[in-house]
Structure 1
C-alpha cells in the first residue's frame, strides 16, 4: 500500500473513532434509576375461581365486545348444560407501583379484574401482602389497590407525559413471565397511538421490552418519574409496547384512590369515521368530524335535536377531527354539562345544544340497536334490490315495512368492495328515505354532481353509513 494512502486511512479511522467513543460515553446508565425505582415496584399475583366445567372457564375468558361474546354467553341455551370439572382456581400475575407510603398501589384493571384474592410482593422480599381493591375503571384499564405495611413504603411520582418527546429514553420495570423486578430500557417510539383497546385510546408506544406480566408496571423517564403505565403489547411484533400516559392516568387514579368512579359525559349516539368518499357524498370539504350512525331514543342527543346522518364538527368551540376526538371531548365533560355542537347537516352547518347524560354500563346498554325497519329485484350500483314486503319486514324483525332489501351484490363493484352484503337493508340515500328502486335512482341522479352517495344500511339490527362513488 502506498505510504500516503496508508496514513490517510489511519487518519480517517482515528477521526471516526473519536466521535463514536464520545457518543458511547453519552449513552445513559440506568443503574441508579433501576435500583431506586425498583424498590417501589411490586409483583402482583391473583387467584380467581372458575366455577363450572371447561366450557364455563372458556366463557369467562371471552371479553365483552368480542364477536362471539353473546354466543358463548348463551352456549347452554343452545346445547344444554355442559357437564364439566369441579370449580378450579385460575392464577394470574402482573405488576404495579406504590404511589403513597401508606400502601396505595397502581396497576391495570385487567390484572385484578374478577380476582377472589390479590397478593403483593416487593423486590428482594419474600413476604406476601394481601391487597384490597380500592377502585377500578374498565374503560381506561386502571385500578388502585391497597396493602397494609408496618413501615412507610417507597413510592414513585407521576411525571408529565405531555412533555416527553419521541426519541427520549425510558425505563420499564415489572415482572414479565413472573421474572421479578426485570428492567428493560428503550425510547418513546410514538405518542397518541390508537390500538382499539378501549374508547379512550391514547397510548405511548415504546421499544423497551414489554411482555405479559409487565402490565401495570411503570414506564419511567430519566428523572425517575412515571410517564406511563405499561398495559399492552403487539404480540405479532418485536419490542412494540404501549403505556397509558401519566397525564391521562393521574386524573382517573385521583378519583379511584378516593373510592370514586369517573363521571363522564354521554351523548347517546353511535358514531363512525368519515371517509373521503362519505365526505364527498355529504358535501363536506374534507373528511373530518364524527358521523352519527344512530341516535338512542330519548338519549341526550335525541332530546337536543341531533339526527342520524349528522356530522359533529365542533364541541364547545373545539374542533372534532375524528371519532376519538369526540369520545375524549364528551367524556371530559361532566354529566349535566351543556355541549354546544356544530353539526354538518344537508350541506350546511347547524348548531344544537345538548345537556349531557352520564356514561356508564346502563347508559351504554340502552344504546343497543333500535328496532327501526328495513316488486321485482332491480340492479342499481351493482346491487340487486327489491322493496321490503310485509312478511319480509316481520321476518327481519322490523317495526314497519320500509327500505330496500339487498338480494345480491356484485363483489367487483364499489358496493361489494365497501362491504354491502346480501340480506342488508338500505333505509336511506343521502338522508332521504328510499322505499322503492325509483326512490333510490332519483336520489342518485341528484347526487351525480357530488360524485358519491351515502347509504344508510341496516344489518342484523345495527345501522351504519356506507358511501359509494358514482361513475360519471
Structure 2
C-alpha cells in the first residue's frame, strides 16, 4: 500500500465523485462555537449540532490557496503501479523516498498549487515545504467571503525539508493596513484516535473545500524520514490539500495535511496523513528567526531491536535503540558509546523505540550535556554526551535499502548465537511487507553472502552492491538459510 503514497500537491485533472447527503439534526438553540467547545469535557462531537458548519464559517477565511512559478524541477514520467502523473512535484524533501513512488524523472518548468493557513494578523502563513520548494514567485489567494478577496505575493521566511514545513510572509504595500484572519494552534499530543476532525484546502484546485472525518491513528511512520509521527485521518484529502490545516472541533489546528495513500485515480481512499501541529510549533521559532532549523546530533547509526537481536544481545525487552554504528568524530564516539550498545534513556526521556530517539536528540540544544542510559553486554550504564549541531549530510538512522530490507554486520556474538562458521556476509534483520525483498522471499534471519555473483563480507559491501539498482533491475542473491544455501532473485519494483 505504501507503494502508492503521494504528496498532496495539485495536479491537472479532475476526479468526479458521487456523494450521498447525510442528514444531521438541526443546530442547538443559541449555538456558539466557543461556548460549545468550552462546555465539552472531551473532544467528542455533540449529537444534534451543526458544529462543523460553524467551524467552516469561522475558519475558512484563514485558509489560503498557494500557487507558484519556479525553477526547472522534476516531474513524474513513469509512476509506479496505476498512480496518476503528478506534474510539478518536486523531488525534495525525502528525495529517495518519493522517487520510489514516482519513478524516473524528467526536468521541466515547475508549476504547482497547494494550500496553507494564516497564523498571524500580519500575514505569516504555514504550508508544506514541497508546495513552495524551488519557487521563484509565490502567489497567495485569500477569500474570506467578501471582506478580503485578493492575491498577494509572498516571500519565503524559513523552511525545513526534513519535516516538510515552510513559513511564508504575505507582502504588503505601504498603504495596506489589513489585519488578516488567522488560526489558533491546538495541542496534537492530546489528540485521541476516533476524534472528529475537519480538513480545509484546495484539492484539485477547488478552493476552500471542507471535509470531515476522524483521527484513524497517531504516530504513523510512513518511511519519509527520521521524524515520522504522522496523524492518520479518513477526512478526505486529495492532491492540492498539501499545507492545509486539520482542525479539531474547537476549531484549532492540530495538524498540517501532507500526504495520502491513493488508489488508481490518485485520489482519496480514506487514508491521509497530517504533520502534528506540535512538531510545527517546536520548529516555528527557528523558522521565524533564522530561516532554518538547528537540531542536536548524537552521531550514531541506529536500528530497531528484532527478536533475533534481542536474544543475541541478551536483552530483557524490545525497548530502546540499538547502535549499529558510531560515526567517527561524533559526540557519541567522544563520549564512549560503542556499536552494540542499546540506548534506553536520553536525558529525562525514555527511548521506547528506535523511531523515538532521533526526535528526542533533534530537540536537544547543541552544546548541552545529556546523561544517556545504555545497556552494554546486558548491564546498564550511564554516559554523559555533549550534543553537537546536526548537519544535513549526517546520518542518524539505519534506513531500509531500496529492496525494503534492513541489514547488519555479523558480530562475533551473532556468529556464536546463530551457530555460524564465519562473520562474512550480512544478516537480514528486518523485511518490510510488500517491498521487493519480501515479495522475492527474503526473510528475517537470512544471511546474504553474494549479490550478483560478487562476495558480500559486510554491510558496506552490500550497500555498494544495491545502491545503483533502478526500477526493474534484478539482484541475484546467494542466501544462507537454516544450514542450506539458496539463490533468490530480487526484482526492484
Supply the RMSD in Å over aligned alpha carbons: 4.2
Distance 1:215 1:58 in 2: 13
Distance 2:424 2:249 in 1: 61
Q: Residue deviations 1:259-303, cap 9 Å, x none?
A: 343221111111110012210111001111111111111111111
Distance 1:340 1:426 in 2: 35
Q: Residue deviations 1:354-400, cap 9 Å, x none?
A: 111111214449x99xxxx99xxxx99999977xxxxxxxxxxxxxx
Q: Is the alpha carbon distance of 1:415 and 1:283 closer, same or farther for their aligned partners in structure 2, counting shifts above 3 Å?
A: farther
Q: Is the alpha carbon distance of 1:38 and 1:53 closer, same or farther for their aligned partners in structure 2, counting shifts above 3 Å?
A: closer
The count of corresponding residues between Structure 1 and Structure 2 is 379
2:98 maps to 1:105: no
Q: Residue deviations 1:306-365, cap 9 Å, x none?
A: 111111111124321111111111112111111212222222222221111111214449
Q: Residue deviations 1:217-237, cap 9 Å, x none?
A: 111122211111111112247
2:458 maps to 1:459: no
Shift of 1:42: 0.3
| Match in the other structure for 2:61 | 39
Distance 1:198 1:113 in 2: 18
Distance 1:227 1:380 in 2: 50
| Match in the other structure for 1:133 | 156
Q: Which has the higher helix share?
A: 1
Q: Secondary structure at 2:310's aligned position in 1?
A: helix
| Match in the other structure for 1:49 | 71
Distance 2:55 2:287 in 1: 28
Matches within 5 A, 1:29-428: 29-50=51-72, 61=91, 66=96, 88-123=108-143, 127-149=150-172, 150=176, 151-236=178-263, 238-364=269-395, 404=424, 417-423=444-450, 425-426=456-457
Distance 1:164 1:226 in 2: 11
Distance 2:379 2:242 in 1: 47
Q: Is the alpha carbon distance of 1:264 and 1:382 closer, same or farther for their aligned partners in structure 2, counting shifts above 3 Å?
A: closer
Q: Is the alpha carbon distance of 1:382 and 1:158 closer, same or farther for their aligned partners in structure 2, counting shifts above 3 Å?
A: closer
Distance 1:167 1:68 in 2: 29
Is contact 1:142–1:253 with CA below 8 Å preserved after alignment? no
Q: Which stretch shows the higher mean deviation, 239-248 or 60-69?
A: 60-69
Distance 2:324 2:379 in 1: 18
Distance 1:91 1:304 in 2: 48
Distance 1:53 1:44 in 2: 19
Shift of 1:404: 2.7
| Match in the other structure for 1:433 | none
Distance 1:298 1:216 in 2: 38
Is contact 1:171–1:208 with CA below 8 Å preserved after alignment? yes
Structure having the higher Rg:
1
| Match in the other structure for 2:32 | none
Shift of 1:238: 1.6
Q: Secondary structure at 1:341's aligned position in 2?
A: strand
Distance 2:126 2:210 in 1: 18
Q: Residue deviations 1:401-449, cap 9 Å, x none?
A: xx5358xxxx9xx99653432336456xxxxxxxxxxxxxxxxxxxxxx
Is contact 1:204–1:244 with CA below 8 Å preserved after alignment? yes
Per the normalisation by structure 1, the TM-score is 0.70
Q: Which stretch shows the higher mean deviation, 160-169 or 271-280?
A: 160-169
Structure 1: give runs of 5+ residues left out of the alignment.
1-18, 76-83, 387-402, 428-455, 463-467
Q: Is the alpha carbon distance of 1:62 and 1:39 closer, same or farther for their aligned partners in structure 2, counting shifts above 3 Å?
A: closer
Distance 1:415 1:31 in 2: 52
Q: Is the alpha carbon distance of 1:30 and 1:381 closer, same or farther for their aligned partners in structure 2, counting shifts above 3 Å?
A: closer
Is contact 1:385–1:405 with CA below 8 Å preserved after alignment? no
Q: Is the alpha carbon distance of 1:198 and 1:255 closer, same or farther for their aligned partners in structure 2, counting shifts above 3 Å?
A: same
| Match in the other structure for 2:31 | none
Is contact 2:198–2:211 with CA below 8 Å preserved after alignment? yes
Is contact 2:157–2:288 with CA below 8 Å preserved after alignment? yes
Q: Secondary structure at 1:314's aligned position in 2?
A: strand
Distance 2:463 2:76 in 1: 30
| Match in the other structure for 1:16 | none
Distance 1:256 1:217 in 2: 18
